[in-house]
Structure 1
Amino acid sequence: MTQWKCSVCGYQMEAETPPNECPSCKKTCEFLDNTCYTPDCEGAGKDDRIR
């Protein structure tokens, strides 16, 4: 499943597709794909380098 991070407040969630509104800050924001695609972070499942 894909990891998503809110570009406004940094809230992180796991879902197939991101919602239109962030569940945390209630803003309409761009969700960044925060899924790990490299061996550096494969144990965590999310890439903390994405800000």
Structure 2
Amino acid sequence: MLYQLAIYAVSSSGDKTVTILYPMLSDIPTNAKIDINDPVSCGNIASVILHL
């Protein structure tokens, strides 16, 4: 799922940020962000945000 979302983020036009929601048993939500960088320029080209 993460690979597929990364491909969607890179190939989309506009914001280039996608979000995935994971169910948890904890009452305290946490977030994680994965930046996808261009291997040549080392610049950020997209992001995947995980709401855990």
Instruction: Calculate the TM-score normalised by the size of structure 1.
Output: 0.23
Higher RCO by CA contacts (8 Å cutoff, separation 6 or greater):
2
Which structure shows the bigger proportion of residues in strand conformation? 2
